[in-house]
Amino acid sequence: MPIEPAPTEWELPAAEAAGDDDLVALGADLEPGTVLAAYRAGMFPMHVSGQRMLGWWSPAQRGVLPLDALTVSRSLRRSFSRFELRINTAFDDVVVACADPSREGAWINTEIRRAYNRLHDMGWAHSIEAWNRSTGRLVGGLYGVHIGGLFAGESMFHVETDASKVALVCLVDHLRAIGAVLLDVQWVTPHLATLGAVEISRAEYLQRLQIALETTTDTFAIP
């Protein structure tokens, strides 16, 4: 079972305080108790672009991937044979790959990496990994946070075609198997839209989040 950290020392604002904006607040810290409290309140951490200031975000239009609406094309299904899917065998390697500074929009820094590794060590953060069966290389994956019936996806990467998509399909299958009910993808990208991700209002997301937090699931995985 995940280890519950010490409560945050900060009083976090309500997600609704953002109004029509996506950014709710600035500051605080990335202690495990703070990060988990934010997720439970419908927010997630990300530094403000071009600044060192830590931001807490709750998109007015939230991206979610309904677990019963995943779209898997024939070409993607054929790709599965090229990969071996694993859970939690290379968490930090996945975070490092997602943090590659050469990627467009790269935002994961050393502070974020350290924070999510701490959450992983405590049993809250998890990785899904796609390994090339022929070379044995890690070629794609994703990581995020599992709380109750919620999985909050943080970032994904690939260095081979379809590797991140295959990891996401594996995640959805796994979430269904353990009884999760909500897959948060923050913002809908064209990449995620091809797999069935949709936008919902912040108000609807917060309603779904409350149900998810009250949902009991099986343990995500044994590292």
CA–CA separation, 41 and 34 (whole Å): 11
Contact assessment for residue 79 and residue 162, using Cβ atoms and an 8 Å cutoff = yes
- SS3 of residue 206 by DSSP: helix
Question: Comparing C-alpha atoms, which of 79, 84, 219, 44 is closest to residue 162?
Answer: 79
Of 64, 98, 99, 81, the closest CA to residue 195 belongs to: 64
Q: How far apart are CA 153 and CA 158, in angstroms?
A: 15
Residue 143 and residue 135: Cα distance in Å, rounded? 22
According to CATH, the topology of domain 15-59 is Alpha-Beta Plaits (3.30.70)
Q: Which of 214, 30, 47 is nearest to 119 (CA)?
A: 30
- Residue 106 has a pLDDT of 72
Q: Which residue has the tokens 């794609």?
A: 140
Amino acid identity for residue 31 in this structure: E
Q: Could you state, in order of their start, the residue ranges of all structural domains in the chain?
A: 15-59, 63-213
Two tokens, residue 171:
């995640």
- Closest of 207, 141, 203, 139 to residue 168, by C-alpha: 141
| Domain 63-213, CATH class in plain words | alpha beta
- pLDDT profile of the chain (223 residues), mean per 10: 95 94 96 98 90 91 95 90 97 96 78 97 98 97 98 96 95 96 96 93 98 96 61
For residue 188, the model assigns a pLDDT of 95
User: Rounded to an integer, what distance in angstroms lies between the CA atom of residue 49 and that of residue 45?
Assistant: 12
